[in-house]
Amino acid sequence: AQKGPTLKLRPGMVFTVEPMINAGRPETRVRADRWTVCTADGKRSAQFEHTIAVTDGAPEILTAL
């Protein structure tokens, strides 16, 4: 993973967690469409996503509804 700017999560924010399980190496590439992500070595990969809302209390996993 690449390090980027840090951000403090606050109520009202929504973000996603998008893990990938790769058959080969962990490096990825973004294709020219700037949306499609694939493994750099061309091996098979599986990905899923959860959308999470930050609340005043416990976080809410929106994709679990």
DSSP-assigned states of every residue in 16-36: EE--EEESS-S-EEE-TTSS-
Residue 3 within any structural domain of the chain: no
Residue 23 maps to a domain: yes
Count of domains for the chain = 1
Residue 40 domain flag: yes
Query: What is the sign of the dihedral through the CA atoms of 1, 37, 43 and 21?
Result: positive
Q: Give the helix/strand (H/E) hosting 60.
A: strand 60-61
Residue 50 lies in a domain: yes
**Structural domain span for residue 25:** 14-64
Q: Is 4 part of a structural domain of the chain?
A: no
pLDDT at residue 65 greater than cutoff 80? no
Q: What is the pLDDT of residue 1?
A: 60
All residues at 6 or more sequence positions from 5 whose CB lies less than 8 Å from its CB, including other chains: none
* Beta strands 20-22; 14-17: pairing state: unpaired
pLDDT digits (tens, 9 = 90+) for 6-64: 889 999 999 999 999 999 999 999 999 999 999 999 999 999 999 999 999 999 999 97
**Domain annotation covers residue 8:** no
